[in-house]
Amino acid sequence: MNETTEYMNEKEFKSIFMGKLFNKIDKMIGEKNLPMENAILEMKSAGRCKALKRILLCGFEKISLGERIEKMIVEENLKKKEEKNEKFLVDLCECYISLRTGFPPELLLICVPCLLKAASDKEETEEIHKDVEMALFALCCIEENQIFEQKQYLKEMLKIIKIQQEHHNLMRLTYQSAWMRLINKFFWDKSVEDMIVNELHFPREAEREQEESKKVMIIRRWLSTIKFFISLCQLRNEEFVELIGEIVQVFRVAKDNYREIHSKCIYSLREAAAVKAVEIEDLLNGGAFDAVLEEFQRQTLNDDIAHDSLIFLMNVSNRLKEEDDDEKEEVKRKATKRKPLEKMEEEGYEDRITSLYGEISFINERYNNNFSLNISEYFVNI
């Protein structure tokens, strides 16, 4: 089933599972023609596919199988401790959360603690390790605004990431999902930011994961996490230059064959150019300026890439226009300005950017932007 779902698009997935397979599974369970453990495997496979491909699967709770699973979760949870099958309850919660969109609070109050406990199991056996993977993956499927905010949740997620950093025993997909969930937390709670940046070293971890991963899907998901992190981050960290360098490397490799990844990279760079946590020197030393200017040298320039590249240049320019009362910082700023300007003069980028007058007009019209038609605005202050 895992192999089959890998190649399904959203329309095929909904047609097969919502229209046929889920009803058939429910009927076979009711008639005792399908062992519950086999049904659970089928549902977990479908839930994994839904999460990986970000399929919006509305209405699972309204079909007979969804109603059956919800009822079984409540019944199993109500059993006395000596009668309760914890493993079975975890399996039911994983199926329910990975397949449903939107969760009633009363079910989350059962499922989240149950899955947290399973995801925090430190026993070093292959079977337990697989259980940890699936429980953590299910937890990361819950929308952020539906997680009831409790310190225990954050505490356990931090433990899981620290264990992975020590032992590297999580799948890359699960590890990325855990990071995305944690970064979502500091969108609502800024106190988590210092922990993510300076204690858990997200920039360093993200750079390493991008470098080591060979699967397009994983790289794409890490780039989404990085983009979100950069747009929120306010804390300076010296590891940013390595992270920028890795984004640039992926940007160059993806430019001919992987448009979505290529686009995610330039978007991350434009966001990095706007936030003070990333210094202009980080962009220069990480190769971001070179990568963006190389795009302007291509004979055919993708509209989306051109749009985000211009935003990158304007963000850098605006950053360097800022006045600083500190004389030492102003001297440093002037020295920084000279580096990209000299590069542009040496390699002829100024002429290429000057030739973009018509393209800027088109981009303004298409994206409803107001990029300056005064070409010197893009480099005179750099």
136-190 pLDDT per residue, tens: 888 877 765 545 455 667 777 788 888 888 877 777 877 888 888 788 776 666 7
Number of neighbouring beta carbons within 10 Å of residue 78: 10
Q: Looking at this protein, which amino acid is placed at residue 91?
A: D
Cα–Cα distance between 301 and 353 in angstroms, integer? 12
Which structure tokens are listed for 76?
């199993």
- Per-residue model confidence (pLDDT) at position 149: 53
5: CB partners within 8 A, 6+ apart? 13, 45, 46, 48, 49
- Per-residue model confidence (pLDDT) at position 148: 47
Residue with tokens 């089933």: 1
Q: Looking at this protein, which amino acid is placed at residue 221?
A: R
Which structure tokens are listed for 258?
């992987």
Cα–Cα distance between 112 and 263 in angstroms, integer? 35
Which structure tokens are listed for 59?
């209405």
- Per-residue model confidence (pLDDT) at position 247: 95
- Per-residue model confidence (pLDDT) at position 273: 92
- Per-residue model confidence (pLDDT) at position 379: 58
pTM (2 d.p.): 0.76
Residue pLDDT, tens place only, 22-31: 888 899 999 9
Cα–Cα distance between 76 and 85 in angstroms, integer? 7
Q: Which residues of the chain have pLDDT under 70?
A: 1-10, 14-19, 143-152, 186-189, 299, 323-330, 333, 340-341, 343-350, 352-357, 375-382
Cα-Cα-Cα-Cα dihedral of 300, 304, 305, 311, to 10°?
130
